[in-house]
Structure 1
Amino acid sequence: MKARFLNRWVLLLLIFSVTFLGCNNDDDMSVLTDPIGDNNGGGDDDGGGPQSGTQGEITLYRVSGNDIQKIRDYQVSGQDIAYQNDVARHQQLWGFTKDVVPVAHRNKMNEFMIYNGSVTGSAGYVVQTKQDLSTWQMGLAINFADDQNELLYTIIHEFGHILTLNDTQIDASVGSGSCSNYFPGEGCAKTDSYINKMHSLYWADIWEEFQNAQNDESAHQAFYVKYQDRFVTNYAATNPGEDIAEVFATFVTRNNRPAGNTIAEKKILLMYDYPELVQLREYIRENLGSNRGRARSILPSPGSWKKANTLGNAKSSHCGHKH
C-alpha cells in the first residue's frame, strides 16, 4: 500500500500494482487519482465545477487537526450519491481514523478521501501528496466499512505505511543508484529508519532470493513457503513495505509481547525497541479498548483483513498502498 507523487497539474493513473513501498500499492487496489496540491479552495470552487473520479472517488477532505474540511465532492451517480450525502458516515470514518492516528502525526496526513472500493476492490489506501513525502492522503472505502474489525485493521495498516515512508524515514531526493540503504521506491531509506533497520536485520540475507522470485508468482509463493516463519501474515511477504505495515498492525493489535522464537516475532519485538512506537501502540489500544465508554473493545485482531492469507504482487510499486 504506498504511493507516488500526484502532480498538481497532472492526473496520474497508477494501476493496481501492489505494495506499499517504492510506490506501494496494496494488492487489491489501484491508486485513486486526484490533482491534489490545489487545496486552496473548498467544495467545487477550485477550477470549473465538480470533477469526475476515475477510481471511485466520492468526497475529498482536507485534514486540519481534529477536523476535516471538504475540498470537493466528485461527480457521482447511483448508490454513490447516497454515499456522498451520508456526511455523518464520513465523520464516523474520520472518527475511527483519529482513534488510530494521534494529532501529532496528522500533520503527515493532509487529505482524507471517501471513495467506493468496488472499482479497485480495496478497503483503504495511502498516497503521498508531496514529492518529498512530507504529506499523505488516506482513503477509506465507505462501501467496505461495515466490517468494523477489518476497517480498523485497515486504518492501522495504512497508518503504518505513512509512519514508515514519510520524509523523516525516507529521503525522496536520493535515487536508487545513489542509495546505499534499502530503497523502497519512494526514495532512499535513511540509515536509522524503521524499514532500513528491519530490512538489514531480516531481509538482507534473503534479498537476492526474493528479487529472483519477484517475476514469477509460483516462485514468490515458494519463497513464502520456505520463509513463512519470518512473516506475520502471508501478505507481509509481498515486499518489505507491506511487511513492516503488517508488523506494525500486528504489534498494535496483538495482546501479548511475543517471546521472539521466530523471525516474525523478532520483527514485532523490534517495534518495542522504539519508545515512540510503544507510545503509539498504547494510544491506539486505549482508544479502541473498552475503557473509552464502550461496552466492549473494538480493537481488531491481528491479521484481520480479507487478504491477510494471500500474497501480493512482489514487484508492484508501493505507489498508492491499497488494502
Structure 2
Amino acid sequence: MRRKEMGKLFVLAFICITLLTTTGIGVDGGIPVLSQAENTQLTALLGDLDGEAPRTVRDQVGALLHQVQQLAQAREAEGNYEMSEEETTIWKKITAQLDAETIRQFGEYTDDEPEEKAEVDYGKTTMSNLKGTLSRTDWNALNTLREDYFKAVEEDDEAYDVDVEAEMKSIITKYKRLDADAVVLNLLDDKNQKNQGLFYITANQQAVYQEGWKNGLDTLTWKEQKKLAESWQQVTAILPKDWFAPFQYFKVGGDGVDGTYAYVIPVDDRGERWCMAVDPADITEDGLFPYTVVHEMCHYWTLNEKQVEYLGDQVAYYPAERYSDWECVAKEDSYLQAFYQAFWQDIINDWATDPENLYFYDRHQSEFVTGYASTNCAEDLAESFSAYVFLKSADTPEVQAKLDFFDSYPELRQKKKEILKMVKENKVYVNPQIEPYEDKHFAEEI
C-alpha cells in the first residue's frame, strides 16, 4: 500500500542525557566490551545520529544492546524464538535513548491537535445492497461477523480468533448469483474506502466490469463503467498486461485525494490470486502515479506464494535472522528475506517497539527513499524498487545500496527495462523526484 507522507512540524529542543548505570563484562566502569556484530548493530541503530552522538549515548545504548543480545542468544540456543518480556523492556529503553538523542540533534515534534476525521463506513452500503439477496438470518450473521471483525481490529484484540473470511464465504456461497471472493473483499476493506466498481481479470488479461449485484457494490451505468475503466488503462500503460495473469480482480475506488493511493491484496489464503485497487482521485498529472503502480506490483512479486508463506491463524516465531510478521514468513531464498538481512535485521527491534514512532524515520532518513518507506520492511522494499526503476541516482549512499540490491538480480533488471519501455512508448510522464514535497535533514549527495 502506498500513502502520501504529510509534512512535519518540529521545534528544536536540547535535552540532558542521564548516564544509565549498567553492569557487564569489560572495562571502563562496568561498560561491556561489544562484539564486532554488536558494534555493527549499534552503528545501524544510531543511523544518522552516529556522527554527532556523544560517547555517553553510545555507551548507554551499547550496554543495553549487549544485555539484550545476551538474553536473545541464550533463548534462541534453546530453540525458543519468542522474545521475552525482559527483552521487550530493554528494547523499549534502547528506543527511548535513541529518541532522546534524535530530539537533541533534529528537534522535537509539536503536540498538535490530531485532525478530526468524520467516521465513515462505506462497507455498510455493501451490506445494505446484500439485503435483497440474503435471507434475514444470513444477513444478520454476515453483519455480525463484519462488526465483530472491525471491533477486534480497532481494539487490537489479540484474543480474536475467527477465520472471518472463511466464515463469511460459508454464508455467501449459498447464493449462486454472488461472487463470494469479491463480496468478502468489499466487506473487509477499510471502512474509509469507497469502492466504486470492480473488474474481473480475464484469461487474456482484460478487465471486464462485474455487475454490482454480484459483489455488493452499486450497479453502474455504462458511462460510469467506462470512466472507471480509464484507471485500468492508465495502469496498463505502465505495466504489461500479461503481468496481471495472477490477478483475479481490479478494483476502483478509495478514500479520495491523498490517503491511500492504491494497494494489492491476496484473494486466497496462500497468496496465489490477487486483487489490485486504485484510487482514481490520486491519478493526477504530477507524475507520481507510475511510482505507485510499480510499488504495488512489487508487493505482488515479493509477497506471493513463491516468496512467502502465509501463516493464517497460526502463531509462529522464527529466529532473528528470518523475516516474519503477523501475516507471513519470508522463504529463505526470497527477495524479502535478502532485503531484510541486508537492510533491516539490525534495526527491526527498534522499529517494532513502536511502528508509529516518527523519530525512527528521523534518525534513518538517509536510508529511506521516502518517509513512507520507513513504515516497515516490505514497504521499504516496494518503495525502493519503484525508485530503482525510475530514479537516475540516489540522494545518499545508503539508498544507492538498496538500488544496487535490485540491480544484482537479472530478472529485476529486465522488469525495469520493460517498465521503462512501456512508459516511453505510452508517453507517460514520470516525476524525476519520487517525493518532491518532502524536506530532508541530510544534504549529502552521491
Question: Which of 361, 370, 391 is the equivalent residue of 1:224?
Answer: 361
* Counterpart check, 1:193 vs 2:334: yes
Instruction: Report the alpha carbon displacement of residue 16 of structure 1 after superposing the two structures with TM.
Output: 9.4
DSSP-derived class of the 1:188 partner: strand
Q: TM-score, normalization: structure 1?
A: 0.70
Q: Deviations over 1:17-46 (max 9, x none)?
A: 9xxxxxxxxxxxxxxxxx799999xxx942
DSSP-derived class of the 1:183 partner: coil
The aligned residue for residue 263 of structure 1 is: 398
Q: Quickly say closer, same or farther: Cα 1:277–1:14, change in 2 above 3 A.
A: farther
The aligned residue for residue 348 of structure 2 is: 207
Inter-partner Cα distance in structure 1 for 2:273 and 2:326: 16
* Counterpart check, 1:99 vs 2:244: no
Inter-partner Cα distance in structure 2 for 1:283 and 1:13: 40
Moved more, 130-139 or 67-76: 67-76
Return the letter of the residue paired with 1:88: K
Question: Which of 216, 241, 250 is the equivalent residue of 2:378?
Answer: 241
DSSP-derived class of the 2:278 partner: strand
Instruction: Report the alpha carbon displacement of residue 229 of structure 1 after superposing the two structures with TM.
Output: 1.5
Inter-partner Cα distance in structure 2 for 1:184 and 1:246: 19
Higher helix proportion, which one? Answer: 2
Instruction: Report the alpha carbon displacement of residue 153 of structure 1 after superposing the two structures with TM.
Output: 2.2
DSSP-derived class of the 1:177 partner: coil
The Cα RMSD (Å) is 3.8
Question: Which of 311, 316, 324 is the equivalent residue of 1:177?
Answer: 316
Return the letter of the residue paired with 2:400: E
Return the letter of the residue paired with 1:67: Q
What pairs up with 1:42-81 in 2 under 5 angstroms?
Answer: 45-46=177-178, 55-64=193-202, 65-73=204-212, 75-76=217-218
8 Å contact 1:108–1:162 — kept in the other structure? no
Q: Deviations over 1:79-121 (max 9, x none)?
A: xx68x84333333221222233334431222210011423993
Q: Deviations over 1:210-246 (max 9, x none)?
A: 22243xx4xx222222222111111111110110110
Inter-partner Cα distance in structure 2 for 1:63 and 1:128: 14
DSSP-derived class of the 1:277 partner: helix
DSSP-derived class of the 1:110 partner: strand
Return the letter of the residue paired with 2:389: V
Structure label with greater radius of gyration = 2
DSSP-derived class of the 1:204 partner: coil
8 Å contact 1:117–1:144 — kept in the other structure? no
The aligned residue for residue 118 of structure 1 is: 256
Return the letter of the residue paired with 1:241: A
Inter-partner Cα distance in structure 2 for 1:14 and 1:233: 32
* Counterpart check, 1:168 vs 2:299: no
Instruction: Report the alpha carbon displacement of residue 131 of structure 1 after superposing the two structures with TM.
Output: 0.5
Return the letter of the residue paired with 1:212: T
Where does the alignment leave 5 or more consecutive residues of structure 1 unmatched? 3-8, 18-34, 311-323
Inter-partner Cα distance in structure 1 for 2:303 and 2:170: 19
Return the letter of the residue paired with 1:71: Q
The aligned residue for residue 299 of structure 1 is: 430
8 Å contact 2:209–2:225 — kept in the other structure? no
8 Å contact 2:310–2:327 — kept in the other structure? yes
- Give the % identical residues: 21
Instruction: Report the alpha carbon displacement of residue 147 of structure 1 after superposing the two structures with TM.
Output: 3.7
Q: Quickly say closer, same or farther: Cα 1:75–1:60, change in 2 above 3 A.
A: closer
Q: Quickly say closer, same or farther: Cα 1:232–1:135, change in 2 above 3 A.
A: same
Return the letter of the residue paired with 1:299: V
DSSP-derived class of the 2:385 partner: helix
Inter-partner Cα distance in structure 2 for 1:36 and 1:153: 34
Question: Which of 396, 401, 412 is the equivalent residue of 1:277?
Answer: 412
Return the letter of the residue paired with 2:339: M
The aligned residue for residue 281 of structure 2 is: 143
Return the letter of the residue paired with 1:94: W
DSSP-derived class of the 2:370 partner: coil
8 Å contact 2:237–2:426 — kept in the other structure? no
DSSP-derived class of the 1:233 partner: coil
The structure with higher relative contact order (CA 8 Å, sep 6+) is: 1
Question: Which of 390, 400, 416 is the equivalent residue of 1:253?
Answer: 390
Q: TM-score, normalization: structure 2?
A: 0.52
Q: Quickly say closer, same or farther: Cα 1:16–1:241, change in 2 above 3 A.
A: farther
Inter-partner Cα distance in structure 2 for 1:255 and 1:37: 50
8 Å contact 1:249–1:302 — kept in the other structure? no
Q: Quickly say closer, same or farther: Cα 1:309–1:114, change in 2 above 3 A.
A: farther
Instruction: Report the alpha carbon displacement of residue 14 of structure 1 after superposing the two structures with TM.
Output: 9.7
Inter-partner Cα distance in structure 1 for 2:387 and 2:434: 7
Q: Deviations over 1:35-71 (max 9, x none)?
A: 799999xxx94279x9897531111111123301222
Where does the alignment leave 5 or more consecutive residues of structure 2 unmatched? 3-141, 155-167, 441-446
